[in-house]
Structure 1
Amino acid sequence: MEKYFKNRVMMTKISLLAAFGAVLMYFELPILPAFAWLKIDFSGVPALIGAFAFGPVVGVIIEALKILVIFFIKGSGTGGIGELANLIMGAAIVIPAGIMYRKNRDRKTAIISLVVGTISMTIAGVLANYFILVPLYSAFMPALKESDYVTTYLITGIVPFNLIKGGLVSLVTVLVYKRVSGLINREATMVSKKKIS
């Protein structure tokens, strides 16, 4: 009974975090005028909260679910390429941050893990764009095939965009995680108290 309760509660929490992430994806802003399609949103915050609370696998699941929700509601203006990019970058920050925080749950580790996650996301952004995303996008935008443009795009677009996005998402995560972590872990505490009594 207890295992069923835990599984059901965990699924509910994951679903709620994913749904909140999907809502946040509606509020996006371009920050680099030269690359207006690169838009920042804060949908990564629920995934990072999930990764901190339950581990990196849950964080990635939340990332994937929020993208699927938006995909089925809004469709895709990029043939799924934008959604793939979102998943890759989201996983790239969530996995290292979640792994590091699980080893030592304090504020200092949270900050360090988010810095590492932001750097990881930036590196993943460059590699994924160079080897996967730009080649896929070039079918729609032939100018992307020019190597000089790709280099400029990666250096002046992808790198600063991911550093800024990672920094902002990390900042919000640090500010809200401790406030919501008690609520997220409340059921686990309740179950533990029942076992003791």
Structure 2
Amino acid sequence: MVHKRTTVLVKTGMLAAIATVLMFIEFPLPLFPAFLKMDLSEVPALLGSFALGPVVGVLIELIKNVLHIAIKGTTTAGVGELANFLVGSALVATAGVMYRKHKTKHVAIISMMLGTLFMTVLGCLFNYFVLLPLYQTMMGIPMDAIVKMGSEVNSLIVNVKTLVVFGIAPFNILKGLAVSLITLLVYKRLSPILHN
């Protein structure tokens, strides 16, 4: 029992370290506001969620965000990392809970698609009601300036609602699909390492 806990702890730490490194490799995407940057740090968290359970996946999300702040600091007063943690956790926890019940490739695909959907919906709600107002307060940036960052790349963005619908929602869908595809491609190959 102690050996199993130690093994899970070591694997969690390794996956969190890889996720932290991947979080540093972020890049903007055209058609999205500059404050939305793509990274693939949810892949190790999703792998952990599938192999070790959804709690481990969420723990990896927490560790990588804490380490990101500790190593790099934060340019968003922690709001960006909070957003990454909440949205990433929505994906990995949803997918992990579903996959834990029936561990088949078909269920894995469905669980990641539902995880992406849940991540997108939750991301929209969190951004509209909590994260964007918090970002505005913490950074001292008027909401109009935040919306303008979106309207500069997408003319459909004219207010906070359209920023969420035409900026944040499609970004989360794209990120969820990218993370899911990569996880699908590597999970079977890494499964023996993650499970032994």
The TM-score, its normalising length taken from structure 2, stands at 0.90
Q: Matched residues in 1 for 2:30 and 2:90: separation? A: 21
Q: Which residue of structure 1 lines up, in the alignment, with residue 170 of structure 2?
A: 160
Amino acid at match of 1:78: T
Q: Which residue of structure 2 lines up, in the alignment, with residue 53 of structure 1?
A: 51
CA drift of 1:32 comes to 3.7
Q: Which residue of structure 2 lines up, in the alignment, with residue 191 of structure 1?
A: none
Alignment counterpart, residue 28 of structure 1, candidates 13, 18, 26: 26
**CA contact under 8 A between 1:32 and 1:157: conserved in structure 2?**
no
SS of residue matched to 2:159 = helix
Q: Matched residues in 1 for 2:143 and 2:3: separation? A: 54
CA drift of 1:25 comes to 0.6
Tell me: CA distance 1:116–1:4, structure 2 relative to 1, closer, same or farther (3 Å): same
**CA contact under 8 A between 1:32 and 1:38: conserved in structure 2?**
no
Structure 1 segments (4+ residues) deviating >6 Å: none
Gaps of 5+ in 2: 148-157
CA drift of 1:114 comes to 0.3
Q: Matched residues in 1 for 2:90 and 2:67: separation? A: 20
Q: Which residue of structure 2 lines up, in the alignment, with residue 106 of structure 1?
A: 104
Q: Which residue of structure 2 lines up, in the alignment, with residue 183 of structure 1?
A: 193
Task: Check if 1:143 corresponds to 2:143.
Answer: yes
**CA contact under 8 A between 1:32 and 1:161: conserved in structure 2?**
no
Q: Count how many residue pairs are aligned between Structure 1 and Structure 2.
A: 184
Amino acid at match of 2:173: L
CA drift of 1:33 comes to 3.8
CA drift of 1:152 comes to 1.6
Q: Which residue of structure 2 lines up, in the alignment, with residue 172 of structure 1?
A: 182
The TM-score, its normalising length taken from structure 1, stands at 0.89
Q: Which residue of structure 1 lines up, in the alignment, with residue 37 of structure 2?
A: 39
SS of residue matched to 1:138 = helix
Amino acid at match of 1:152: T
Tell me: CA distance 1:53–1:34, structure 2 relative to 1, closer, same or farther (3 Å): closer
SS of residue matched to 2:171 = helix
CA drift of 1:34 comes to 4.5
Alignment counterpart, residue 128 of structure 1, candidates 105, 108, 126: 126
Amino acid at match of 2:177: G
Amino acid at match of 2:123: G
Tell me: CA distance 1:174–1:34, structure 2 relative to 1, closer, same or farther (3 Å): closer
Q: Matched residues in 1 for 2:143 and 2:89: separation? A: 29
Q: Alpha-carbon deviations, 1:63-100, whole Å to 9, x = none?
A: 10011111100011011100100010011101110011
Rg (Cα) greater in structure: 1
Amino acid at match of 1:36: A
Amino acid at match of 1:180: L
CA drift of 1:53 comes to 0.7
Amino acid at match of 1:25: M
Alignment RMSD:
1.5
Gaps of 5+ in 1: 187-197
**CA contact under 8 A between 1:27 and 1:41: conserved in structure 2?**
yes
Q: Matched residues in 2 for 1:184 and 1:135: separation? A: 40
